[in-house]
Structure 1
Amino acid sequence: MTTAIETYAPSEFEALVKSLGQPRFRAKQLFQWIYGKGATSYDEMSNLPAAMRAQLAEEAPLHIPEVVDKRVSKDGSRKYLLKLADGNLIETVGIPSRDDNASGDPRRLSVCFSTQVGCSMACAFCATGTEGFTRNLLPGEMAQQLLAVSRDFGMRITNAVAMGQGEPFLNYDNVIAALKILNHPDGLAIGARHITVSTCGIVKGIRAFGVEPEQYTLALSLHSANQSTRDELMPRCASTPLPKLKDALKDYYEHAGRRISLEYLLIEGKNDDSAHIHALIDYCKGLHVHVNLLPMNDVEGSPFKATSKSTLNQWMRELEDAHIRVSIRDSRGSDIDGACGQLKNRLG
């Protein structure tokens, strides 16, 4: 039976090569070729026997996503529309750091990758929410997004964020397998603390993520600490009351010992008034968190608008006065349909 190589987690490569009648060490070679060297064909894998390569092509085909559209921002970020083997489209963003090394190249390259085709969460402010859910991505389909960006930039990926299309914790097992590929020394070799997963608040996933042995980081898309406002903005999260979510965040910190990022998209007239900032300050009590305030990218057809710069700065000051760690995220790619789902929807 044919099973795409993208299906396999790192721990499953040995069983695959064994099923082909090959010795165990071939598993490491195969894994290195695909995820360490970014091979785009089995033909490139020169230290594997020709018979093994032929078997792999037949029984475990390697699919490389096709870049069907690319937008380059004036700030250096690049957004890609990738076509998968089954014809589905996903989005990926490459974000070079603004600071350069001695050679004039960016010191870091971050990738925001998708974990699902579409998304079932239907968040009101998100362009992806308008298209619905199609399917989960395989571990290799997530890793190949980073390899596509690495090839295009001609440099290695230093940071990865599962903050593209999809809710990662509704595809938990495949996402964890993908993170292991990204972190593996024979794979993309990205440090675990430089790999972040962003969730809308799937409690079961948050608790499971807290006991994973690797030092991955967690981001929560909060966007309001007022229950009615959050339910309006994130209707599929309404079944999880904010106190229950807070308990899960406490459990996560107790087990993982790692500070959590709270993502807060400031929307004019919706969640940016004094009542909402006081609700956020109160919610942060007892939590080990860092608040990321997010300027909103305009989404065509959306009724929401970005809050003013003065309001953004006011929130920054009030959170600092409350002794809460806070930063304003550097908004990138607004001129290239940078928000999740924008490019795909525009071209679809």
Structure 2
Amino acid sequence: CVSSQVGCALGCAFCATGRMGFQRNLATWEIVDQVVQIQRDSEYPVRGIVFMGMGEPMLNYDRVIRAARIFSEPCGMAINAKSITISTVGVVPGIRRFTAEGHPYRLIVSLTSADSSKREKLLPIEKTYPLPELMEAVREYHAAIRKRVTFAWTVMSGINTSRDDARQLAELTRGLPILLDLIDVNDPTGQFRRPDSEEANAFRDYLREELQMPVQRRYSGGQDIHGACGMLAGMIS
């Protein structure tokens, strides 16, 4: 999991990186060096990369794509391009450019809610690129790749885990083959909580009933060092 920026300007309510604000874009070498350092310190080869660390990859587009090419080129790190995933919370111009350029890397769209008013409170980018515009770009992407589109859903107890949430998602994505990744929220402030096993299992059941599409729960490690999904931020002790 690599970062593309120092901080982030998009201010997602549940993300520690968003709370620290935007500092700067990372250079291509700084993105690549994250994987080089991991590879150097690990006894296992790096076989997959996700741009889901600090920052919004689509707001540092050129450097992210250059880094992905270095990762995937035989003369670079020779990682399978299909094992490289670039994420976005919904920067529509970036999605459209990514589609037009026909990159072999995977795209994952962080959705978190299919209700515009709720999503706007959680992901302020909804004000700039509302769901109808986002979904139009996503459908264009699907038309180009002819494969399932992956969405990420940060799961928060009592906020986006109801049957209505599942129904709204089914309606939003009707006719679009998708894969849904569920990622438990990590919020040291306590404002947003993970669902207990009963709530989480019920939500997965709702999703499977409403979507009739694959749903999987993503592992998010590193809570003990504030390195889990949504926790990356500078800390002074």
TM-score norm. by structure 1 comes to: 0.65
Identify the match of residue 20 of structure 2 among 104, 124, 131: 131
Distance 1:242 1:213 in 2: 23
Structure 1: gaps of 5 or more residues: 1-111
Residue 12 of structure 2 aligns to a residue in which SS? coil
Residue 214 of structure 1 aligns to a residue in which SS? coil
Taking CA–CA contacts closer than 8 Å with sequence separation of 6 or more, which of the two structures ends up with the larger relative contact order?
A: 2
**Using a 3 Å threshold, how does the CA distance of structure 1 residues 321 and 201 change in structure 2: closer, same or farther?**
same
Identify the match of residue 94 of structure 2 among 201, 205, 221: 205
Select the structure of larger CA radius of gyration.
Answer: 1
Distance 2:17 2:190 in 1: 12
Aligned partners of 1:261 and 1:289 also within 8 Å: yes
Q: 2:41 maps to what in 1?
A: 152
Structure 2: which amino acid aligns with 1:303? Q
Q: 2:133 maps to what in 1?
A: 244
Aligned partners of 1:230 and 1:238 also within 8 Å: no
Quote how far apart the aligned CAs of 1:335 are: 2.2
Structure 1: which amino acid aligns with 2:209? D
1:163-312 alignment, distance < 5 Å:
163-297=52-186, 299-312=187-200
Provide the identity percentage: 38
Q: 1:140 maps to what in 2?
A: 29
1:314-329 alignment, distance < 5 Å:
314-322=202-210, 323-329=212-218
After superposing on structure 2, the runs of 4+ consecutive aligned residues of structure 1 that deviate more than 6 Å are none
**Using a 3 Å threshold, how does the CA distance of structure 1 residues 343 and 222 change in structure 2: closer, same or farther?**
closer
**Using a 3 Å threshold, how does the CA distance of structure 1 residues 144 and 292 change in structure 2: closer, same or farther?**
same
Structure 2: which amino acid aligns with 1:249? V
Q: 1:8 maps to what in 2?
A: none
Residue 234 of structure 2 aligns to a residue in which SS? helix
Distance 2:180 2:83 in 1: 18
Distance 1:180 1:331 in 2: 26
Q: How many residues align?
A: 236
Aligned partners of 1:165 and 1:340 also within 8 Å: no
Aligned partners of 1:183 and 1:189 also within 8 Å: yes
Structure 2: which amino acid aligns with 1:316? R
Identify the match of residue 201 of structure 2 among 283, 304, 313: 313
Structure 1: which amino acid aligns with 2:194? A
Structure 2: which amino acid aligns with 1:251? E
Distance 2:233 2:8 in 1: 13
Distance 1:296 1:331 in 2: 9
Structure 2: which amino acid aligns with 1:178? A
Aligned partners of 1:183 and 1:190 also within 8 Å: yes
Quote how far apart the aligned CAs of 1:313 are: 1.2
